[in-house]
Amino acid sequence: YRHPSVSANLKRLSDSGVHIVPAETGELASGLSGEGRMAEPENILKFIKDYILDKAPLKGKKALVNAGPTYEPIDQVRFIGNRSSGKMGVAIAEAFAQQGAEVTLVLGPSHLKVKHRLIQVIPVETAQEMHTEMLHRYAQADIVVCSAAVADYAPEKAEKGKIKKGNPELNLKLLKTKDILQELGQKKQSQFLVGFALETDNLLKNAREKLERKNCDLIVANETNAENQAFHAENNQVIFVLPNNNTIDLGFKSKTEIAEELVQLIIQKRTQKK
């Protein structure tokens, strides 16, 4: 490996723009030990990934995403939750990571496994915990996507232990939770802020109203009804709603495709903003 002809050939290759995965040191085919061993396949893969990520459009940018449902405790064993699976938000976190962003995913209770070295998962349970984690990280973020199905109401207090069924009636007092997206909209500086709108009626009208009220740069509008259950499905039908009455209808696509198109649109809009 140190022979002058090998060095000269390596130099000629790198001078002409070829990227060289460095050889490793260890036992060689000849039985000797030293420099010149083929790099381990996982190291070759890491080299290629690092090379691609180094050129990625969101390299060095911070994306903050929330996803999944929230669970609001009634007592020690029961909670109020919703049917969100978190799939859409996880796909968005992965699409950001593929474009080189450092991603923080604040994830409500979910069975999904997220494994990417650029994604840090912060598990939370309640709307209040999700609020704390999102607000805490907001100032450092460049792009923020709120895809979580945050509970709008939570029990005033969780009973200690398990509520026994002694009484014929049980009344729960629910209080409104904080609207995380709205608060982020009020505190917005240079962040690109994306919200979701899940509607059963008047999809575009309500989504436009949410875009304004929550001071977002983009709303992913999602209609749900009896035939089209958005929550656990692999596919979804969404419309991107932008300022000045602009809309992009994506039609029916997989959540992965929607996430990739969303991230591409964000990259494009952020470049235009500069």
Write out the residues near ligand CTP by the rule CB under 6 A: 127, 146, 148, 150, 152, 177, 179-181, 195-198, 210
Query: Which secondary structure element, helix H or strand E, spans residue 65, and what is its range?
Result: strand 62-67
Q: Which of 9, 82, 167, 236 is catalytic?
A: 82
Please report how the helices 255-273 and 87-98 are oriented relative to each other, as an axis angle in degrees rounded to 10.
Answer: 50
56: left (phi over 0), alpha (psi -120 to 50) or beta: beta
3-class secondary-structure state, position 43: helix
Alpha-carbon span 23 to 3, nearest angstrom: 14
| Nearer to ligand CTP among residue 133 and residue 179 (C-beta) | 179
Least CB distance from residue 198 to ligand CTP, whole Å?
4
3-class secondary-structure state, position 230: coil
Please, are residues 104 and 271 in contact by the beta-carbon 8 Å criterion?
Answer: no
| Nearer to ligand CTP among residue 72 and residue 100 (C-beta) | 72
Least CB distance from residue 67 to ligand CTP, whole Å?
9
Least CB distance from residue 220 to ligand CTP, whole Å?
8
Query: Count of residues for the chain?
Result: 274
Q: Which two tokens stand for residue 170?
A: 């049980």
Least CB distance from residue 13 to ligand CTP, whole Å?
50
Please, are residues 222 and 237 in contact by the beta-carbon 8 Å criterion?
Answer: yes
| Nearer to ligand CTP among residue 100 and residue 230 (C-beta) | 230
Q: Is 82 annotated in the active site?
A: yes
| Nearer to ligand CTP among residue 157 and residue 213 (C-beta) | 213
DSSP per-residue string spanning 95-131: HHHHTT-EEEEEE-S-------TTEEEEE--SHHHHH
| Nearer to ligand CTP among residue 100 and residue 146 (C-beta) | 146
Least CB distance from residue 148 to ligand CTP, whole Å?
5
Query: Which secondary structure element, helix H or strand E, spans residue 66, and what is its range?
Result: strand 62-67
List, in order, residues 6 or more apart from 102 with CB less than 8 Å away.
60, 61, 62, 63, 118, 120
| Nearer to ligand CTP among residue 72 and residue 102 (C-beta) | 72
Beta-carbon neighbour count of residue 126 at 10 Å? 20
Least CB distance from residue 176 to ligand CTP, whole Å?
8
Which residues belong to the active site? 82
